[in-house]
Structure 1
Amino acid sequence: MRKQALNVSFFSAPALALGITAAVSIFAFPIRSNAADVPKADLVNRQQLRVCADPADLPFSNEKAEGFENKIANIIGEELKLPVVYTWFPKATGFVRMTLGAKRCDLVIGWGQGDDQVLNTNAIYRSTSALIYKKGTGLDGVDSLADPRLQGKKIGAQQASAGATLAARYGLMSNVHGYPLMVDRRYANPAVDMINDIRKGEVDAGILWGPIAAYWASRDGVPLVVVPLVKDVGAARIAFRITMGVRNGDDAWKRQLNEVIRKRQGDIDKVLLDYGVPLLVDDDTSTEMITKPRTSATAEPAPAGSAATASSPAPAAATP
């Protein structure tokens, strides 16, 4: 499928706009109007699937289309019979403003449910934070941060993340080694730094967002143990629904994407499972894991007004 970065130029003429407004106000008669009767402008490009993505944020996306969000974009493009094109921008401060907000693209594949910077589609998956450690270092069998064997251990966690909050809840903060959360991943990768520190023994264990933990713990060195913290989901908000994001106001586009998600949920699940993403059933009261792709009949949309929403800033919402 064809993929390319888009270079778009934007022009504005505030002085001209003010002049026209003034001229119209002189000659216009008062007209009653109902805002509800005015159709919304459709800003979505209907000839291409224009995706906003990070150029260096594996396992999610990169310019070589190696991430699972790249694969999901291909599924969406295939279903809509549209070529996939990309606008690249790091998922750091200003991501939404410089991509969706600037109308350079129409879709973010992965975004935390509940962040009002975007209009969320139905969830494409629900996941949780995970514990990572090296086998044979005294932590074998640990599956909860409540395990007393973690007391006194040096724990890696990303600052201001859900994992760090959970570590604090269990009294582990005195020995936490912090890693930055919001960075330009073209130049730094704190998750990989944490994984490498665990392998070297400089950190005893780490807490990362499950999709990131599963991906990097199996690459570039001795495989590490990755344990989804399903026993700790009730202790703090660490399980999140991930949606697609569109511009606020693009309601028709959102509905179209919801239909694609419903129809292709099984294909999306297969991509996620192939990347080792810990998938939880879409039910806040359950910590049951999904181990095989769902069908359309079982892939129910997230309940409206769900409490399981991301409360961090945009990049953290994308990768809790």
Structure 2
Amino acid sequence: MQRRSWRTAMVAFGLLCLTGAAAAPVLAGPPEITERGQLRVCADGNNLPFSNRDGEGFENRIAELMAEELGVPVSYVWAPQIMGFVRNTLDLGVCDVIIGVAAGYELVQNTNAYYRSVYSLVVPEDADLDVTSLHDPALAELRIGAITDTPPVVPLRRTGASVKTYALQADTRVVSPVRDAVKDVAEGITQGAVLWGPIAGYYAGRQDPPLRVVPLVGDTPGAQLQFRITMGVR
């Protein structure tokens, strides 16, 4: 009797599940599932050396290689990479990947890292300054440029440097704080600038004469200056 009741209960439970499954609404898949005809990239259209609308950045080239491997064309959704960039691009579902994102960035899901770099010190070629850490006393009392709210600012101040800051959030269609920071070094307004490595190298090499770029690979207590770079997806 108990066995028959158990079987009856199981059959009733199974019918209930089937009824619930049949009644559940069928939801349409998000664009990244249903649209596979192209690689849709979220990018800044004026952000060399990473990306621009003419496809001259190294992240443009990475996107091309990925699309070639997938056998689809690349399409871009362009937006200045300022506050709201992820919300207005990736989160809206209008594009599917941001090529360059620091590992651990909480607004996206990170892929495996594909390169890493460090912040670097940009100085005149003939500068008598050879440091590998922002903890180096040689930086004390020097006028050093840095992007506001980036990791180098606090250790520079602790070391005793006079820090000239440049805007972190900037519409690259109008201004380029990093370019301005490097230009100030070239013109002697500052004695150096601490910037993200790829950007430091790009702008330093375009000065006449070129500036020297020193990777800060030494230990700087209390500051993370090296980052792994991934791609960001939803």
Contact 2:113 2:231 in 1 (8 A): yes
Q: Deviations over 1:249-285 (max 9, x none)?
A: xxxxxxxxxxxxxxxxxxxxxxxxxxxxxxxxxxxxx
Contact 1:169 1:235 in 2 (8 A): no
Question: In the alignment, what sits opposite 2:69?
Answer: 79
The two structures have a TM-score, normalised by structure 1, of 0.62
Structure 1 unaligned regions, length at least 5: 1-29, 248-320
Question: In the alignment, what sits opposite 1:213?
Answer: 200
Task: Tell me by how many angstroms 1:222 deviates.
Answer: 1.5
Question: In the alignment, what sits opposite 2:137?
Answer: 148
Q: Distance in 2 between matches of 1:63 and 1:42?
A: 23
Q: Distance in 1 between matches of 2:223 and 2:188?
A: 28
Contact 1:54 1:61 in 2 (8 A): yes
Task: Tell me by how many angstroms 1:39 deviates.
Answer: 10
After TM superposition, list the pairs within 5 Å mapping 1:250-265 onto structure 2: none
Contact 1:58 1:67 in 2 (8 A): yes
CA RMSD of aligned residues (A): 2.2
After TM superposition, list the pairs within 5 Å mapping 1:36-115 onto structure 2: 41=30, 43-44=32-33, 45-115=35-105
Q: Distance in 2 between matches of 1:167 and 1:84?
A: 41
Question: In the alignment, what sits opposite 2:167?
Answer: 180
Contact 2:31 2:93 in 1 (8 A): no
Greater mean alpha carbon deviation, residues 146-155 or residues 78-87: 146-155
Task: Tell me by how many angstroms 1:40 deviates.
Answer: 6.6
Task: State the SS of the aligned residue for 1:97.
Answer: helix
Fraction of identical pairs, as percent: 45
Task: State the SS of the aligned residue for 2:180.
Answer: helix
Task: Tell me by how many angstroms 1:97 deviates.
Answer: 1.2
Q: How many residues align?
A: 212
Greater mean alpha carbon deviation, residues 187-196 or residues 218-227: 218-227
Task: Tell me by how many angstroms 1:180 deviates.
Answer: 0.7
Q: Does 1:125 align with 2:115?
A: yes
After TM superposition, list the pairs within 5 Å mapping 1:176-255 onto structure 2: 176-232=163-219, 235-247=222-234
Structure in which a larger fraction of residues adopt strand: 2
Question: In the alignment, what sits opposite 2:154?
Answer: 165
The two structures have a TM-score, normalised by structure 2, of 0.84
Judged with a 3 Å threshold, the aligned counterparts in structure 2 of structure 1 residues 214 and 69 are, in CA distance, closer, same or farther, namely: same
Task: State the SS of the aligned residue for 2:228.
Answer: strand
Structure 2 unaligned regions, length at least 5: 1-18
Q: Distance in 2 between matches of 1:143 and 1:85?
A: 40
